[in-house]
Amino acid sequence: MGGREPQLGAKPTERLAISFGDKNSGFQVGISHGPIYVPADRPEPRPEPLWTVPFPYDPNFVGRDGLLDQIHEKSSIPGSRIVLVGLGGVGKTRLAIEYCHRVRQQSPDTWVFWVHASNAARCEASLRNLADRAKIPGRQDRNANIFELFGNWLQDGKIGEWILVLDNVDDDDLLRKPLTTPIEARGNAQNHASTQPPLRYLLENSNGSVIITSRNKGVALEIAGYKKNLIDVQPMIMAEALVLMQKNLDCCSERADIVPLVEELEFMPLAIVQAASYITHRSPSCSVSQYLEKLRQSDRQATKLLNHEGHHTHRDWEAKNSILLTWQISFDHIRGTRQSAANLLSLMSFFDWQGIPEDLLRVQVQLTVRTWLKTHGLEEEWKEQFIENLHAEFPTGEYENWERCRSLFPHVRSAVSHRPKSQDTLRSWAAILYRGAWYARGCGNISDAREMAYMSRKERIKISGAEDEEALSSTAMLADVYRFEGRWEEAEKLEVQVMKTHKTKLGADHPSTLTSMANLASTYRDQGRWDEAEKLEVQVMETGFLNRSQRKLHTLPRDRTGPS
Peptide bond into 284 cis (omega under 30): yes
Among 87, 92, 63, residue whose Cα is nearest residue 211: 92
List phi, psi (to 5°) of 93. Answer: -65, -40
Distance between CA atoms of 477 and 441, rounded to whole angstroms? 9
**DSSP track, 194-255:** -SS-HHHHHH--SSSEEEEEES-HHHHHHHHSSGGGEEE-PPPPHHHHHHHHHHH-SS---H
369/328 Cα distance (integer angstroms) = 7
Helices 423-443 & 469-485 angle (0-180, nearest 10)? 30
Q: First vs last Cα of the chain: how many Å apart?
A: 105
The half-sphere exposure of 134 on its side-chain side, counting CA atoms within 13 A, is: 26
- Per-residue confidence of the chain (564 residues) as pLDDT tens digits? 444 444 434 444 455 555 545 555 555 556 656 565 555 556 677 778 999 998 898 888 997 878 999 999 999 998 899 999 988 888 899 999 999 999 999 999 999 999 999 888 889 999 999 999 999 998 888 778 999 999 999 988 788 899 999 999 988 878 877 766 543 443 444 444 456 888 888 988 878 999 999 988 888 888 888 889 999 999 999 999 999 999 888 666 778 889 998 998 888 888 888 888 888 877 777 888 888 888 777 666 666 666 665 555 555 545 444 566 555 555 555 566 556 555 655 555 566 555 554 444 456 556 666 776 777 787 888 889 889 988 988 999 999 999 999 888 988 998 998 999 998 899 999 999 999 999 999 999 999 999 999 999 999 999 999 999 999 999 999 999 998 898 988 998 998 999 889 888 888 888 888 888 888 888 888 888 888 888 888 877 877 544 444 444 444 444 433 445
Element (H, E) at 423: helix 423-443
CA angle 389, 390, 394 (to 5 degrees): 130
Instruction: Tell me if 426 sits within 8 A of 459, measured CB to CB.
Output: yes
Domains and CATH numbers, the chain: 1-40 (no CATH), 65-180+194-232 (3.40.50.300), 240-377 (no CATH), 385-464 (no CATH), 484-564 (no CATH)
Label residues 457-467 b or e (16+ Cβ within 10 Å = b). Answer: bebbbeeeeeb
Say if residue 231 is exposed, middle or buried (CB neighbours under 10 Å; 0-12, 13-18, 19+). buried
pTM of the model: 0.59
In sequence order, what are the residues at sequence separation of 6 or more whose Cβ sits closer than 8 angstroms to the Cβ of residue 282?
A: none
Q: How many CB atoms lie within 10 A of CB 239?
A: 9
C-alpha to C-alpha distance for 234 and 267, rounded to whole angstroms: 9
Least Cα distance to 263 among 362, 370, 351, 345 occurs for: 362
Residue type, 219: V
**How many other C-beta atoms lie within 10 A of the C-beta of residue 101?**
18
Alpha carbon of 282 to those of 256, 275, 302, 522: distances in Å?
A: 21, 11, 17, 56
Closest CA relative to residue 352, chosen from 437, 420, 413: 413
- Short-list 277, 479, 271, CA closest to 363: 271
What are the two backbone dihedrals, phi and then psi, of residue 473, each rounded to the nearest 5 degrees? -60, -45
Among 473, 462, 464, smallest CA distance to 419 is for 462
